[in-house]
């Protein structure tokens, strides 16, 4: 019984945590913005689950300013933002920290829905003029400036002086685990030329014109970049196009497999529990030998005896399953309170109905499967021998 | 109702034991038959074969015009349920269940409508005079009361035959006499009663005495009083 309780509660907990994690990850991906298409340098070969080489850390320099300019002239594209990323030490007075920066274009704020809550974003002239201006995430602003108002203040970032022009609204953890509130946004030209010493982009985010389908926009991006890169054979593409739907599908598959894997582990405890139930039922068959004999004497057929013991073992496991569901739900609630109190108040947990239904089905099936042998043993007893049993 | 023709039963576990050796007799509907004999004489085996709990090794058993050889285990179960009632020496009640639930047991394997069940159970309990114990737990009853519950359970499906295996073996003489009076009353109301016993006083309630020895019928006599039983068994 304990095995069934632990097994079922594990199924409930793992499915709930799995579903919540899936929702969390997908929520983060969807929070990037709508109607977005990502252009990533390097081609993805084979499965769509394989990452482009640039994502795996290989430097590919094929995505450049001419590509962005061409994309911005495409009617099916509403806007596009290029981005390069790096890390550097940020210092203000006695405070310092290592921060991730995003060198980007002025379009980034609208494309990625990064709203500036204090001050202002940077503009095209800042990008063209290589101005040392920065928009900070809420957390890094706190780390560097504490109670002081950061707007207009200058901090040192990789030994360059940057003036803070704006503070971003709180965004939380972004896809890939990047804390978006710890991000420093600076003009892409400054990041490329003065901080990283590169001419290429890490990737370009395209905001599709809602008047066109995403598929059409993807095909247009393909054409534009192939033309720019003088590629005639699609097999020789040196870039990858991904939409949020692709990312969501990939992440859903990954988190789904993860949940399935964890559930399979929980099933092992159910198997152990099932064997326990079988032993209980076998002992019960021996203890109730006289009763079986009596039932057969007064007219129970073998089928009646099998049915009775199967029902009893199913009731036993269903009862264990109910306790397991209650225990699992209690643990999930505790985890929920723990996470929302001590980590992320916006984190939402869910106890999927499918988990409860699965727990019910699995616990009764466990009773059924592991009750068959004891029930069969009971049905085979001769009424005379069973009645004589002491 | 019952006809045995040269029925034998041989057990082969650990050597050959002849429990019944070419037994033949007929029992008519409404008879009250006592089967007596010393331990190991084969009387219990005979009762088991008559009640479909065991099968003969050879010979023919005709029950209500049906050759028992033509029946399978499911038929035996249905016959035991619908046409036979059982009273055991050890009562064999479900101790944690009430009198009502114990009497209900055979009906669980019967197709009698739910609405009719309660009436049948209450009638059976009434017949053995335990109306006030209907909802008492079986384990709290005295030996005599337990055996009366067992008789009510045997009655509830309104069987043709009641088999009683040493029904007074675990009872004091007063309770034993009470139980036997009930069985005699049931016989008078048309039920065939076949009982196995060691006790002459118990056997004397029957109107026929079959004596078994070494697996054979030693005597098969009509009786009317205990004196006759005493004469037969000295």
Q: Which two tokens stand for residue B230?
A: 């005493």
Specify burial of residue A353 (Cβ count, 10 A radius: 0-12, 13-18, 19+).
exposed
Query: What separation in angstroms does the CA of B200 have from each of A30, B19, B87, B186?
Result: 93, 23, 18, 20
- Centroid of chain to Cα A163: 36
Distance, CA of A117 to CA of A128 (rounded, Å): 24
Q: Residue B44's closest chain A neighbor by CA?
A: A384
Region of A352 on the Ramachandran plot (φ > 0 left; ψ -120 to 50 alpha; else beta): beta
Contacts of B94 in chain A (CB under 8 A): 291, 294
- Look at the alpha carbons of A274, A275, A276, A279 in this order and tell me if their dihedral is positive or negative: positive
pLDDT computed for residue A345 by the predictor: 67
Query: Bigger pLDDT: A239 or B194?
Result: B194
pLDDT computed for residue A365 by the predictor: 85
Contacts of A304 in chain B (CB under 8 A): 77, 108-109
pLDDT tens-digit profile of B138-180?
Answer: 999 999 999 999 999 999 999 999 999 999 998 998 999 999 9
% chain B with pLDDT above 70: 100
Q: Which two tokens stand for residue B139?
A: 């384990």
Alpha helices in chain B (DSSP H): 43-50, 73-83, 99-104, 114-127, 143-155, 173-188, 200-203, 226-232
The answer to whether ipTM exceeds 0.95 is: no
Q: Residue A383's closest chain B neighbor by CA?
A: B53
Best mutation target, A284, A288, A296, A297, to test chain B (most B CBs within 10 A): A297
Mean pLDDT by 10 residues, chain A (390 residues): 79 80 73 78 65 64 88 91 92 91 93 90 94 94 92 92 93 71 93 92 90 89 90 85 78 79 77 80 87 92 93 87 89 84 71 81 84 89 85
- Look at the alpha carbons of B107, B112, B118, B120 in this order and tell me if their dihedral is positive or negative: negative
Contacts of B78 in chain A (CB under 8 A): 299, 301
A156 in Cβ contact with A91 (< 8 Å): yes
Closest C-alpha to B25, from B233, B164, B194, B227:
B194
Best mutation target, B11, B43, B53, to test chain A (most A CBs within 10 A): B53
Closest C-alpha to A29, from A252, A359, A217:
A252
Position B27 pLDDT exceeds 90: yes
The helix (H) or strand (E) run that includes residue A216 is helix A214-229
> Which residues are CB-contacts of B180 (< 8 A; sequence separation ≥ 6)?
B167, B168, B202, B205
From the CA of B221, how many Å to the nearest CA of chain A? 28
- Residue A178's φ and ψ, nearest 5 degrees, are -75, 130
> Which residues are CB-contacts of A196 (< 8 A; sequence separation ≥ 6)?
A84, A86, A103
Pairing state of beta strands B161-165 and B192-197? parallel
Closest C-alpha to B200, from B221, B224, B165, B230:
B230
Q: Which of B77, B92, B153 sits opposite A290 (nearest CB)?
A: B92
- Tokens 């095209």: give the residue: A124
Helix axes A302-342, A244-287, angle to 10 degrees: 140
pLDDT computed for residue A55 by the predictor: 57
Distance, CA of A89 to CA of A143 (rounded, Å): 12
CA angle, corner A64, sides to A189 and A178, nearest 5? 65
SS3 of residue A376 by DSSP: helix
Query: Bigger pLDDT: A265 or B204?
Result: B204
- Look at the alpha carbons of A20, A25, A26, A27 in this order and tell me if their dihedral is positive or negative: positive
pTM given for the model: 0.66
Distance, CA of A264 to CA of A120 (rounded, Å): 51
Contacts of A290 in chain B (CB under 8 A): 92
A383 in Cβ contact with A325 (< 8 Å): no
pLDDT tens-digit profile of B55-69?
Answer: 999 999 999 999 999
Closest C-alpha to A325, from A260, A270, A387:
A270
Q: How many CB pairs under 8 A join A and B?
A: 54
Complete DSSP assignment for B6-54: EEEEEE-TTS-EEEEEEEEEEE-TT-EEEEE--TTSSHHHHHHHHTTSS
């Amino acid at each position: 019984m304990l095995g069934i309780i632990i097994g079922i509660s594990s199924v409930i907990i793992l499915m709930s945590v799995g579903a919540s994690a899936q929702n969390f990850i997908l929520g983060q991906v969807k929070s990037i913005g709508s109607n977005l298409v990502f252009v990533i340098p390097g081609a993805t070969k084979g499965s769509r689950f394989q990452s482009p080489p640039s994502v795996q850390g290989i430097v590919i320099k094929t995505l450049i300013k001419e590509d962005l300019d061409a994309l911005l002239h495409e009617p099916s594209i509403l806007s596009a933002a290029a981005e390069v990323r790096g890390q550097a030490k940020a210092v203000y007075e006695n405070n310092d920290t290592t921060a991730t920066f995003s060198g980007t274009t002025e379009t980034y704020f609208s494309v990625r829905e990064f709203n500036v809550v204090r001050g202002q974003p940077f503009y095209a002239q800042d990008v063209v003029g290589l101005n040392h201006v920065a928009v900070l995430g809420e957390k890094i602003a706190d780390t560097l400036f504490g109670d002081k108002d950061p707007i207009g203040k200058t901090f040192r970032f990789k030994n360059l002086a940057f003036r803070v022009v704006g503070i971003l609204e709180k965004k939380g953890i972004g896809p890939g685990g990047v804390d978006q509130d710890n991000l420093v946004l600076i003009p892409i030209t400054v990041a490329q030329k003065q901080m990283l010493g590169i001419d290429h982009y890490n990737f370009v985010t395209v905001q599709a014109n809602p008047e066109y389908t995403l598929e059409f926009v993807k095909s247009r991006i393909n054409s534009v970049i192939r033309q720019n890169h003088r590629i005639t054979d699609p097999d020789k593409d040196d870039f990858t196009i991904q939409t949020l739907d692709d990312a969501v599908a990939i992440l859903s598959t990954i988190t789904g497999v993860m949940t399935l894997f964890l559930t399979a582990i929980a099933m092992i405890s159910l198997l152990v529990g099932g064997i326990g139930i079988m032993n209980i039922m076998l002992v019960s068959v021996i203890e109730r030998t006289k009763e079986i004999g009596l039932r057969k004497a007064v007219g129970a057929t073998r089928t009646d005896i099998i049915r009775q013991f199967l029902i009893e073992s199913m009731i036993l496991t269903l009862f264990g399953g109910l306790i397991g569901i209650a225990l699992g739900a209690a643990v999930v609630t505790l985890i929920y309170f723990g996470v929302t109190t001590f980590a992320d108040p916006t984190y939402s947990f869910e106890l999927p109905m499918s988990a409860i239904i699965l727990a019910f089905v699995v616990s009764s099936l466990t009773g059924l499967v592991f009750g068959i042998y004891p029930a069969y043993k009971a049905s085979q007893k001769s009424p005379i021998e069973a009645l004589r049993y002491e | 109702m019952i006809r045995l023709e040269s029925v034998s039963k041989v057990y082969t576990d650990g050597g050959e034991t002849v429990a019944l050796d070419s037994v033949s007799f007929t029992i008519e509907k409404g008879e009250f038959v006592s089967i007596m004999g010393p331990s190991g004489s084969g009387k219990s085996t005979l009762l088991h074969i008559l009640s479909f709990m065991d099968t003969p090794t050879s010979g023919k058993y005709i029950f209500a015009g049906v050759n028992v050889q033509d029946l399978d285990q499911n038929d035996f179960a249905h016959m035991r349920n619908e046409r036979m009632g059982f009273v055991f020496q050890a009562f064999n009640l479900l101790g944690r269940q009430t009198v009502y639930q114990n009497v209900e047991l055979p009906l669980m394997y019967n197709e009698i409508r739910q609405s009719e069940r309660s009436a049948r159970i209450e009638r059976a309990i009434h017949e053995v005079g335990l109306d006030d114990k209907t909802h008492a737990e079986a384990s709290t009853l005295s030996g005599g009361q337990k055996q009366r519950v067992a008789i009510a359970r045997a009655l509830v499906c309104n069987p043709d035959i009641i088999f009683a295996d040493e029904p007074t073996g675990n009872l004091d003489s007063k309770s034993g006499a009470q139980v036997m009076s009930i069985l005699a009353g049931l016989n008078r109301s048309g039920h065939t009663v076949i009982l196995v016993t060691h006790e002459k006083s118990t056997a004397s309630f029957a109107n026929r005495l079959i004596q078994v020895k070494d697996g054979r019928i030693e005597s098969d006599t009509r009786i009317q009083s205990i004196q006759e039983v005493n004469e037969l068994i000295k």
